[in-house]
Amino acid sequence: MGYTDYIGTKEVTVDTKHRVNIPAQFRKIMAEENVSEVVISRALDSQHLEIYPLPMWIKIRDRITDSMQLMNRTHRNVLRRLTQDAIHCKLDSQGRIMLTPDLMKFAGIADGSTVKVLGVSSFMEMWNPDILKEHEANTPLTDEIYEKLENVPLI
């Protein structure tokens, strides 16, 4: 049995039917963990997509819904934003997932374009490369951020 450790970046192409290959190194982890379904969601913090192996999505969903007060408007809005365009998607026999037009529009992804799939430990992100470059330029890791991290017990 493997372990969940999605790391690295791979460029892949979106075909004319909105299909995208999950990179081989990530498919291998999913196969080792017997995962064949993902949930694709809009990111809450920027213009990209998040791809969660189904077991991870269930953990996150349960953690969020257990901690939210559904009568709280802000909590409902966050939950709605996370789930309104999310889709369940089984990998096809070639390890591809299919994006919806709404998800593609949100992330600035077009048929025939190249996207970057990033491993983020327990899930993946999918980015339009130009939007990722702009995001990284606008959100640098500054000395102030590193100083704040010094107070967080990471290890």
Are 132 and 112 spatial neighbours (Cβ–Cβ below 8 Å)? no
How do the pLDDT tens digits run along the chain, 155 residues long? 446 789 999 999 999 999 999 999 999 999 999 999 999 999 999 999 999 999 999 998 888 888 877 778 888 888 888 899 999 999 999 999 999 999 999 999 999 999 999 999 999 999 999 999 999 999 888 888 888 878 777 66
Number of H helices, E strands in the chain: 6, 8
Task: Please report the pLDDT score of residue 3 as a whole number.
Answer: 61
Closest-CA residue to 117 (of 14, 4, 2):
14
Least Cα distance to 22 among 121, 100, 123, 151 occurs for 123
| Of 126, 116, 112, 91, nearest in space to 17 by CA | 112
**What's the pLDDT score for residue 56?**
93
Helix residue spans in 22-142 (DSSP H): 24-32, 54-67, 73-83, 101-107, 129-138
Read off the pTM. 0.89
Rounding to the nearest 10 degrees, give the CA dihedral for residues 138, 48, 153, 137. -20
- The pLDDT value recorded for residue 1 is 41
CA angle 40, 136, 127 (to 5 degrees): 25
